[in-house]
Structures are given as C-alpha cells and as structure tokens.
C-alpha cells in the first residue's frame, strides 16, 4: 500500500533496551493523528504491529490521543515502553523496534480507514494479522 498519498508528515524512530520511549518519540509533531507500524530491527523488518491514533466523533472532532501520546500510552495493559522491553527480552531475535509513524490529512481521511487498509494489505499477503495485533 502506498501510504504516503494519505499523509502530511512521516518519520521513524527506534527503541532498544534502556531507551526512553518519550525521548525517542519527541520529534513527532504535536496534535497529529494517524497510523504507526512497529517493525523488528530494521525499516524493512518484519511487521510486528499496526495501530492508529485518533478516534473521530460524530461532529468531526477527535476524541482520542494524538500520535505521540498514543505511542507513549499502553499496550496489553502496561506502559508501552515496558511492553517493548518485555518483548525484546522474550525474543532474542529482536534487537530493536523500529516505529514508523504517519500523520494523515485528517480533513480527508479517517485514521481507522488507513489502519484498516494497512491491516488488509498485510492480511492479503500473510493470511493473518501481525503477531502483536490480537484482533481487528
């Protein structure tokens, strides 16, 4: 999927054991909503997770956190930084987690749509969801 046509900003950062996730994500612009992809070890590494930030209310305003806040929130009920550290310790093949992020043009596209398209593309190629996505 060519995600760039839906975005107005993009970037990536990484997380290794001992890193502060807040410091690693500090360059993500405030107030942006969009999607993110976690990969194993490199920018072209295996996709571990696909997620979104930004839930749209009926009147068109956003209810949920912007992208940086969402990335620094929780996953599986624990701080995402702790979740990453746990996964790196459990899987010796993970040296670092690459976080790709995309801020979408929310005047044109819903974050949930772009997340769904990314997950559909992954599902079409692999007949399953990424390993850390439990359901969709």
What is the pTM (predicted TM-score) of this model?
0.93
**What is the overall mean pLDDT for the chain?**
92
The pair of three-digit structure tokens given for residue 112, joined into one six-digit string: 């949930």
pLDDT score recorded for residue 41: 92
Q: Could you tell me where the DSSP H helices lie in the chain?
A: 21-24, 67-71, 80-90, 111-126
* pLDDT reading at 12 higher than 80: yes
Place of tokens 């009926």: 58
Place of tokens 């995309």: 102
pLDDT score recorded for residue 47: 97
Burial of residue 25, with CB atoms counted within 10 A of its CB: 0-12 exposed, 13-18 middle, 19 or more buried: buried
pLDDT digits (tens, 9 = 90+) for 87-132: 999 998 999 999 999 999 877 889 999 999 999 999 999 999 999 9
Q: Average pLDDT, stretch 43-61? A: 88
In terms of DSSP bridges, do strands 47-53 and 34-40 run parallel, antiparallel, or are they unpaired? antiparallel
């Amino acid at each position: 999927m060519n995600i760039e046509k839906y975005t107005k900003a993009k970037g990536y950062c990484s997380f290794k054991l001992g890193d502060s996730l807040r410091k690693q994500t500090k360059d993500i612009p405030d107030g942006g909503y969009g999607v993110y992809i976690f990969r194993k070890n490199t920018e072209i590494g295996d996709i571990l997770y696909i997620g979104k930030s930004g839930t749209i209310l009926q009147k068109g305003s956003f209810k949920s956190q912007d992208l940086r806040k969402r990335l620094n929130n929780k996953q599986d009920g624990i701080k995402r930084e702790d979740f990453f550290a746990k996964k790196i310790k459990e899987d010796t093949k993970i040296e670092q987690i690459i976080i790709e992020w995309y801020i979408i043009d929310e005047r044109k596209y819903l974050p949930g749509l772009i997340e769904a398209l990314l997950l559909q593309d992954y599902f079409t190629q692999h007949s399953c969801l990424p390993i850390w996505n439990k359901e969709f």
